[in-house]
Structure 1
Amino acid sequence: MSTLFQIGEVAVEIQRKSVRTLRLTVSPPDGRVRVTAPLRMPAATIEEFVLARQLWIRKHQARIAALPQPARLAYTSGETHYFQGRPYELRVLPTTSRSRVELDEQYLLLYVPEGSSSAEREIALAAWYRSQLKAQIPALLAYWQPVVGAQAQAWGVKQMRTRWGTCNVRARRIWLNLELIKKPTACLEYVVVHELTHLHERLHNARFWGLMDQFMPDWRQHKATLNQRVAGMQQPAGGDAD
């Protein structure tokens, strides 16, 4: 559950979770400020933490405000859309049957009923992206779980605004961001390994990154590719897995 507070000059969304330390993020596109805090941490401690970082917050809000805003996709023919790291030109074509997507070397062919709205076309394309991503995950888990030496009991795909992936250590369940299907497959593998590694170490500490070096020595390269901003592609505000 999140609660909005005014702390000093900044509106702050405070979210309490089962974590050990405070975490502060400033997120595009509007410079929203969020603090993730331990469940029982006193409010005064959180307020002191935020007040001490007012200048840092303002600096990052100014940087975000100066970023070029991504163009709003209309899901019309001629737009560029991505699949597994490659750009494709979208072609919207009429059909009298169910909506579907086909892919060739140059075009992403979206078949939708005549007169469909941009929202309907977006839903149809998202459904195809979801099916493509979900089809790839079992094989990746089958390969990487023995390498990492940890097994997820459940996994899922969802649209996430702030993270490429998350791991519920207690339930041994991982979630992967739907946007990963637009990135190169190596980026998806990096996030899978990242989340599986949390089953050994919950925190992003030296032990965690040491394990990542052991399981996937080139993870830094994949992480850098993952976080490259590409026009027309949504980028989670946090810019990493969790």
Structure 2
Amino acid sequence: MEIAGLEIDLVRQRMRSLRLTVYAGGRIRVAVPLHTPAAAIEAFVQARRSWIVQHQQRFAARQPAAPAPRYETGETVPFLGQPYTLAVHPAARPWVELRPDTQQLWLYAPANSTAAQREAVLTAWYRQQLKQRLPELLAKWEPVVGRSAAAWGIKQMRTRWGTCNIGAARIWLNLELIKRPLPCLEYVLVHELTHLHERLHNARFWGLMDEFMPDWRLHREELKRVLLAPTATPDAD
């Protein structure tokens, strides 16, 4: 439907507040509580019209997605914000070896392995690397934020860098963060921990972020340049 001169996908569902999402490609989705009046929805969209247009223009300016990797020797793969040249070696036991001195990442896999199998080997290594780093990062940032996660997990997410289940004090981090610079990973971690103070992305939330991590905007902008998926929204939740 058209609202405030914009084509909007309107979704009514059981929720407490209105939510706006702009997807890559320019699609706009507005989710609202079941009985929200049409006038309130139009006012909500109109008040954010310039923000919507700005994000549509940003998505339109992005470069087309790169071809799907084959995980073959010579390709470039990222790790903690640095590019590494992939070197694939035949081996009966799949494993990965990082060689910072030559800026290479050696991937061992059976000689007849497929691209999907080599990707699975690298993905398992990425997960292990992120899992190893999180306890130390939590020990660093939980005292700063003044809240602790009761549990945490890692998963591949197509639309978010991180999420927080406030009731369970459980945070989830996107596996893709291991490819980004370490400060970006720390930003998302602090972001999710801050939700244990404040559920909403309101003035109080961003004020707390300023207190805990004054340069958080730099790291968020870095992540905004990354397109997670064709329908991704470039932020933590």
Q: TM-score range by the shorter chain?
A: 0.7 to 0.9
Asked if the contact 2:160–2:233 (Cα under 8 Å) also holds between the matched residues in 1, the reply is: yes
Give the corresponding residue for 1:190: 187
Equivalence map 1:74-223=2 (5 Å): 74-97=70-93, 99-105=94-100, 106-223=103-220
Instruction: State the AA in 2 paired with 1:237.
Output: A
After superposition, give the CA deviation of every residue in 1:54-99 in whole Å (9 maximum; x if it has no partner).
Answer: 99878865764553211122222111111011100111221112x1
Asked if the contact 1:190–1:222 (Cα under 8 Å) also holds between the matched residues in 2, the reply is: yes
- Paired residues in the alignment total 229
- The alignment's C-alpha RMSD in Å is 2.9
After superposition, give the CA deviation of every residue in 1:96-118 in whole Å (9 maximum; x if it has no partner).
Answer: 12x11110021111111122111
SS of the equivalent of 1:36 reads strand
Instruction: State the AA in 1 paired with 2:88.
Output: V
Q: Does 1:241 align with 2:231?
A: no
Asked if the contact 2:159–2:228 (Cα under 8 Å) also holds between the matched residues in 1, the reply is: no
Q: Does 1:25 align with 2:21?
A: yes
Asked if the contact 1:168–1:174 (Cα under 8 Å) also holds between the matched residues in 2, the reply is: yes
Give the corresponding residue for 1:34: 29
Give the corresponding residue for 2:63: 68
Instruction: Please list every run of 5 or more consecutive structure 2 residues that lacks an aligned counterpart in the other structure.
Output: none
Asked if the contact 1:17–1:36 (Cα under 8 Å) also holds between the matched residues in 2, the reply is: no
- Structure 2 CA distance for partners of 1:128 and 1:41, relative to 1, 3 Å: farther
- Structure 2 CA distance for partners of 1:51 and 1:182, relative to 1, 3 Å: closer
